[in-house]
């Protein structure tokens, strides 16, 4: 973005300093001026429509767009594991990175706010939760992390152009779901 702005400003300064006739070759300047004259002739030769007619046409088009059916792209296809794994991969990435950013920001401002986010305080607070809530929270965090890791490895394998048949893609998708669930359960008992 910054390089584009610098380039635009430089070009604008150059155009302001030198007249266009110096920049263009004489034949190019003649061609450009002829094109402008022809464009003006064409524009004045065409009858101008009234603004009311254009507004009426736009209203009709807008009304017709409201009556068009919505594309049934999700309703006509059979759901596949690749859909769900792709969606969940993105969601888990957002959750994990967002959670790390939020915790990091809170950890940085905690001393100024008088909060205690030390490990011992967090461990004591977590230990006071009911066992079911501890298990569910451990499973949720463990599953999002392990799913993201296993599915990321699956994508890295695809980057090598292997396991790309439909059968292999489906099998690897279900493997990722099963492996992430089993590893999340294992992490819950640690």
Domain of 140, CATH number, reads 1.20.1300.10
Span 38-68, pLDDT tens digits: 555 555 554 555 677 778 888 888 888 888 8
17 or 37, greater pLDDT: 17
Which of the pair, 57 or 121, is modelled with greater confidence? 121
- In three-state form (DSSP H/G/I as H, E/B as E, the rest C), the secondary structure along the chain is CHHHHHHHHHHHHHHHHCCHHHHCCHHHHHHHHHHHHHHHHHHHHCCCCCHHHHHHHHHHHHHHHHHCCCCCCCCCCCCCHHHHHHHHHHHHHHHHHHHHHHHHHHHHHHHHHCCCCCHHHHHHHHHCCCHHHHHHHHHHHHHHHHHHHHHHHHHHHHHCCCCCCHHHHHHHHHHHHHHHHHHHHHHHCC
Residue 137 lies in a domain: yes
19 belongs to a structural domain: no
* 31 within some domain: no
pLDDT exceeds 60 at position 114: yes
Q: For residue 130, give its domain range.
A: 81-189
Total number of domains in the chain:
1
**pLDDT of the residue at 70:** 73
Query: Measured between alpha carbons, how far is 35 from 19 in angstroms, rounded to an integer?
Result: 19
Is residue 110 pLDDT above 60, yes or no?
A: yes
Residue 47 lies in a domain: no
Taking alpha carbons only, the member of 101, 98, 102 closest to residue 90 is: 98
**pLDDT attached to residue 57:** 81
Residue 170 lies in a domain: yes
The larger pLDDT score, comparing residue 118 to residue 19, is at 118
pLDDT at 11 over 60: yes
Report d(CA 174, CA 180) in Å as an integer. Answer: 10
Residue 96 falls inside a structural domain: yes
**Does residue 95 form part of some domain?**
yes
Q: What is the pLDDT of residue 69?
A: 77
Phi/psi at 28 (5° precision): -70, -35
- The reply to whether 40 falls in a domain is no
pLDDT, position 31:
55
First-last CA distance in the chain: 48
């Amino acid at each position: 973005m910054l390089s584009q702005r610098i380039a635009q400003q430089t070009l604008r300064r150059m155009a302001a300093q030198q007249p266009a006739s110096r920049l263009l070759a004489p034949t190019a300047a003649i061609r450009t001026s002829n094109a402008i004259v022809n464009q003006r002739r064409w524009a004045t030769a065409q009858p101008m429509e009234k603004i009311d007619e254009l507004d009426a046409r736009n209203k009709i088009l807008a009304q017709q767009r409201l009556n068009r059916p919505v594309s049934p792209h999700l309703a006509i296809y059979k759901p596949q594991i690749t859909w769900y794994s792709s969606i969940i991969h993105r969601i888990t990435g957002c959750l994990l990175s967002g959670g790390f950013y939020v915790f990091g920001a809170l950890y940085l401002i905690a001393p100024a706010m008088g909060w205690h986010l030390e490990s011992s305080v967090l461990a004591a607070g977590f230990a006071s939760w009911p066992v079911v809530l501890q298990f569910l929270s451990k499973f949720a965090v463990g599953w999002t992390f392990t799913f993201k890791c296993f599915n990321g490895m699956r994508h890295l394998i695809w980057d090598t152009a292997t396991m790309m048949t439909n059968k292999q893609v489906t099998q690897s998708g279900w493997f990722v779901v099963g492996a992430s669930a089993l590893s999340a359960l294992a992490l819950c008992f640690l």
